[in-house]
Structure 1
């Protein structure tokens, strides 16, 4: 029995939910998101909450039960509060600046890295060494943050690079004489 799947997903105030077959469409103040569930689960809307039930007792149905419920909860969170990933840049001379739709990164290369921000995601730089990625789709926000981090991941010797805020980097000791 799925502990996550059993819980109903409450529909927040100001959010409209439309269920047609296996497709759930959620519209809120930040935008519209949709999710199509597999045929292994049944989705119903009752008493201001969305409930997910498995069709049968197969292993796949039980797997899809909890996952579908989590995806629907992410839709509700995305259209009301949105998702946010914070990155920090460490290193001498490493900095970031946003110019229109392009994030300009100085990361110790011979050239400046120009990262084009995709549609549906907003990137801001409160400080030269901080990057904030925000949006309504958690997958897209995480992917954009990972793509930015990929340009110069944190290295274990000096700790230079782009890291998630609060991420622990295991430091290594350098060579000994």
Structure 2
């Protein structure tokens, strides 16, 4: 039994939600998002919110039940408040700057890395060593943050590279004499 899937998704104040077949649509102050639920999961509107149930008791249906409820919860939260992801850059000479809508990264390569921020995501560089990403789609925001981090992931000896703000780098001990 999915503990997450049992609870209905509450519709926040200021958000309108609708269920059309397998598609859940949410409109709020930040924008509009929709999510197409897998066919193995039943979705219905109730007075308390959006309810999610597995079609049958197969392992596949039960495994998609909780994930579907979480995805619907994420679109409700996204259109109401939005999401934010912070990246930190560590290393001598490593920095980021905004170049129009693109992010220009100096990460120790012989060239500058220019990352084009996709539609629906906004980026800012309040400090040269910090990148702040905002958006209403949690999945897209996480993907953008992962792509930027991928240019220079943090290394375990000095901790140099691009890391998530909440991430801790497990440091290794260097060579011994």
* Distance in structure 2 (CA, Å) of the matches to 1:2 and 1:144: 30
Deviation at 1:166, TM superposition (A): 2.5
Task: Provide the residue aligned with 1:93 in structure 2.
Answer: 93
Task: Provide the residue aligned with 1:105 in structure 2.
Answer: 105
Deviation at 1:58, TM superposition (A): 1.1
Task: Provide the residue aligned with 1:15 in structure 2.
Answer: 15
Please say if residues 4 and 66 of structure 2, whose CA atoms lie closer than 8 Å, have aligned partners that are also in contact: yes
Please say if residues 8 and 48 of structure 2, whose CA atoms lie closer than 8 Å, have aligned partners that are also in contact: no
* Distance in structure 1 (CA, Å) of the matches to 2:38 and 2:53: 12
* Distance in structure 1 (CA, Å) of the matches to 2:43 and 2:172: 50
Secondary structure at the counterpart of residue 125 of structure 1 = strand
Aligned residues: 177
Verify: 1:159 aligned to 2:165, yes or no: no
* Distance in structure 2 (CA, Å) of the matches to 1:138 and 1:31: 13
* Distance in structure 2 (CA, Å) of the matches to 1:85 and 1:49: 27
Task: Provide the residue aligned with 1:34 in structure 2.
Answer: 34
Q: CA RMSD in A?
A: 1.1
Unaligned 5+ segments in structure 1 are none
Scaled by the length of structure 2, what TM-score is found? 0.95
